[in-house]
Amino acid sequence: MRQLLCFAGLACFALVLGTDRLCAQPVNRIDNASFESVMINGLPDDWELFCPVASDGSGLSRAGRAAFASDESVHRGGARAVRISSDQPTRCAVLQRSIPCQPGEKWKFSIWMKGAGLGVGGDTGALARVSFLNPGDPSKNAALAQRSASIRSDGADFDWKQLETSGEVPADATVAQVEFFLWKGKGSVWFDDAALEFETPSTVRVPDRAGKLRSRNANTRLAAQPRTGERVIFMGDSITEGWNLRTSFPDQEFVNRGIGGQLTWQMVSRFPQDVLAHKPDAVVILAGTNDIGGSMPPDIIVANIRSMVEAAKSAGARVVVCSILPVTDALATPGNPQLVRTTKRPPGVILEVNALLRRMAEEEGISFVDLHQALADDKGFLPAALTVDGLHLKPEGYAVISPIVLSAIQSGRKG
């Protein structure tokens, strides 16, 4: 009987019910903490690339040939580590958001690092940081930012070593996030076997960061449906999610897999189950505006979209890549709170990404449709008559782009 109770006690530590993880001892709440699980682009799942601009006035962000990789040749344990490298001083990280926590919980943060050719002294090198936020009340975040904790490398070249720090979750915090940086320096740094452990027993909901569970039921239904014609899957963010495909494309077997607010890395993460599993005849990708809003470098945006293109092509699907749409001129109506998001999407950056998307499409031999040109006015902005908030389309906007996309889908059909 005692053995049975011991077994039951041990089993509860790892019990998973749906998306609820029941924890009865300190547990690592970082997902894919050893970077072993990778997406179709080879980068670690549940992690996003992060290139924030330095707040010290230097304006430093990603620079030179800064690169991220899942490294199978250098790792501490398992089969992989994550590597960040650059030939110029840069400020880049891998980031995991939305780690659940509760005020007052004790935590311990640790990471294994290895460095080669890093800057030493001052404010350069490799850095790991844990910070706390309250997404439900952003007004708390400035104060919470002061409670973040960092651990930093202390040499230019060093073999694997573990660094750690600990503390208590501050009042008002509801989630934590962890970042692993190449911090204002150059060279290479590897990270492996990360941990953010909490001492307090609790029931925490494992976040669905990439939205893989959002379409689970719809995917099950779709898999059971007989095909009635060509199956075309639309992948994207809220602009795709808000597209009524039945109205825009009657009598077509078009499937919507847009999820509002998503970044391209999240689409890459869920692409296998939301797209490839259904063996589509064609795939339409309309993505990237949220990445621009989050200051993601254009080449990383396009690289993420390219990885979806390559996966779809390998599965035998035709691919249509859409340009990023224009936004409304926020300066034309100052003080309109609805247009704040448009200020984070500079027209010049949108055009830069679109030019890279066009070139990528040519290199991949796929269709590129310039929806920006179809929608923009003579100043390059989205007309107010076509948008509900300066970013998302009204039915009148979808009416403009639907025939253009349909033509691109049909032009690649065989026979």
> pLDDT confidence of 17, banded at 50, 70, 90?
very low
Q: Tell me how long the chain is.
A: 415
> pLDDT confidence of 12, banded at 50, 70, 90?
very low
User: Which of 25-34, 82-91, 202-211, 230-239 has the lowest average pLDDT?
Assistant: 202-211
Handedness of CA 394, 340, 270, 411 (dihedral sign): positive
CATH architecture, domain defined by 15-205:
Sandwich (2.60)
**Parallel, antiparallel, or unpaired: how do β-strands 367-369 and 318-322 relate?**
parallel
Q: Take residue 129 and report the two structure tokens written for it.
A: 């940081």
CA Rg value for the chain: 23
Q: What's the whole-number average pLDDT of the chain?
A: 88
Measure the CA–CA gap between 259 and 242, rounded to whole angstroms: 9
pLDDT value at 398 more than 70: yes
User: Structural domain boundaries of the chain?
Assistant: 15-205, 216-411
User: Per-residue pLDDT tens for 86-114?
Assistant: 888 888 899 999 999 999 999 999 999 99
**Parallel, antiparallel, or unpaired: how do β-strands 158-168 and 253-258 relate?**
unpaired
> pLDDT confidence of 123, banded at 50, 70, 90?
low
pTM here is 0.86
Q: What is the mean pLDDT of residues 51-77?
A: 74
pLDDT value at 13 more than 80: no
Q: At what angle do helices 298-314 and 347-364 cross, to 10 degrees?
A: 30
CATH architecture, domain defined by 216-411:
3-Layer(aba) Sandwich (3.40)
